[in-house]
Amino acid sequence: MNMLLHELKAYRKSTIIWSFSLVMIIVLFMSFYPSFARDAEDFKKIMEGYPEAIRNAVGFNLGNFFTILGFYCFPLSFITLCGAIQAMNIGTSIVSKEVREKTADYLLTKPVTRTTILTAKLLAASISIVITNVVYIAAASIMVFQVKTGDFSFELFLMLSLTMFFIQLIFLAFGIVISVIVPKIKSVLTVSLAIVFAFYFVGMLSDTTGEDLKRYFSPFKYFDTAYIIKHSGYEASFLIAGAGIIILAIAASYVVYSKKDIHSV
């Protein structure tokens, strides 16, 4: 419990900053919605001038873009990107920070197993992400109700919002694997940004080609917002793929960390 609280305290500042940043982004974007709704036809004519592949890549769906939920999907794509960076950053630093700050050997002299250590760190990281999502969804809900111009399904809104949480779990798992495999990471943020943006651009490429198979190579495309709005649900195959990645990555992390040589200072 002491280890969990210590980790939570370590993540406190970054959790507050990320939560505040995501709230500011959604407030800024959703404040534009009333203007878009009033001039929907003019904006639609402008967007029709762009190739469909480009519209798909940046998250524009002309079929529902001018509804409150359709418009919400546009900033959600950027918010999800930010959330992925947060999760990847936390995951990558879980173990690597002990090596970087030269406290790994001290930590491992405590009368606890490596499994206990990694579990405490994983729980703290997960709690940090949950807090971020609760704060974000609460703020987004308030904002959506403030700017809506008609009725909408709040259940669908929650389903759309939770896609960020699911994607964050995937990137958290990626980060943990990297953290336990790579001997020493000098800059966690650099690694996190490189990996997250690589997956993001792979996802954009899959949109421009229209090939569903390529979507499996980018977690950002596991949750198609247009599909969620149309079918009121997630795509089962991508849910299974995401869950498989998380389970395999975390299991591999425990195996590697339990056998990893930790160099003393």
**Confidence (pLDDT) at 56:** 61
Q: What's the predicted TM-score (pTM) here? A: 0.88
Looking at the chain, the whole-number percentage of residues with pLDDT higher than 90 is 44
Residue partners of 84: CB distance under 8 A and separation at least 6: 167, 168, 171, 196, 199, 200, 219, 220
**Confidence (pLDDT) at 90:** 92
C-alpha 34: how far from its chain's center? 27
Reported as a single tens digit per residue, the pLDDT across 133-176 is: 999 999 999 999 998 877 888 999 999 999 999 999 999 999 99
pLDDT, averaged across the chain? 84
Summarize the confidence of residues 183-202 as an average pLDDT: 87
Reported as a single tens digit per residue, the pLDDT across 226-263 is: 889 889 999 999 999 999 999 999 999 999 888 776 65
